[in-house]
Copies of this chain bind each other. A is one copy, B any other.
Amino acid sequence: MKSNEIKEAALKYFTIHGYEGASLAQIAEEVGMKKQSIYAHFKGKDDLFLQVLRDAKETELSSKLQYFSKVDSNNPEKDLYGFLHLVIDLFQKNEQLKFWLRMSFFPPSHLEKVIEQEVIDIEEKMQAILESKFQDWINAKLIIGDAAITPTFAFLGIVDSILLELVYGNDEKRLQAKLAASWTVFWRGISHQ
């Protein structure tokens, strides 16, 4: 399907150059066609962009949800640390998460509202599932008896910081070091000693 090739190329250039910096001519050339031909598959630049955005959102959301659904979870240390590695894997093996990250934080301003809605949607779902997991672990006395929201937010913060390191992404050593450090301190901060 040619539409998918176009979306792949679009994903690549939107990620590298942002919405305004990516041109349809560039995207079309990557697929081996002229920019006018894109209009046989998409209504315009916005339409192409939003389709790429929704694909990326779905990939991210389903990957994360799937991880937590197949984890049977009497081992928070393994589950949480594994999740961090999942995020790193997702980021490194497919462009979509990087694209998603860039657009969540610096959306093209004329699409700000639409994008914000999608971002909030993912965010709430992830927060809800994490909070419920933490509540279970707290009840089982596997971690410290905070309000569940505390480890949830702290953990989401670590995910964010890892993502930023990935975006910045020139130094695998540094990434591993930051991950190890954040995890060490975090785990010590929520577990019984």
A-side residues, CB < 8 A to B, are 16-21, 102, 104-106, 108-109, 116, 119, 144, 146, 149-154, 156-158, 160-165, 167-168, 170, 177-178, 180-182, 184-190, 193
Contacts and interface: CB of A to CB of B under 8 A. Distances in A.
B181 A185 contact: no
Nearest to A190: B185
Contact of A170 (B109, B116, B190, B193): B116
Nearest to A23: B20
14 contacts: A16-B109, A17-B109, A18-B106, A119-B168, A149-B181, A153-B178, A153-B181, A154-B186, A157-B157, A157-B181, A185-B186, A186-B189, A188-B189, A188-B190
A109 B186 contact: no
Contacts of A185: 150-151, 154, 185-186, 189-190
Contacts of A17: 20, 109
Given A154-B186, A185-B190, 10 more contacts: A18-B18, A18-B20, A18-B21, A105-B164, A105-B167, A105-B168, A153-B180, A153-B181, A156-B161, A157-B162
How many copies of this chain sit in the oligomeric assembly? 2
Nearest to A159: B161
B157 A109 contact: no
Nearest to A120: B170
A161 B170 contact: no
A157 B182 contact: yes
A160 B108 CA distance: 22
Query: Which of A16, A150, A157, A193 has the most CB atoms of chain B within a 10 A radius of its CB?
Result: A157
Contacts of A161: 156-158, 160-161, 164
A182 B170 contact: no
Contact of A20 (B21, B109, B190): B21
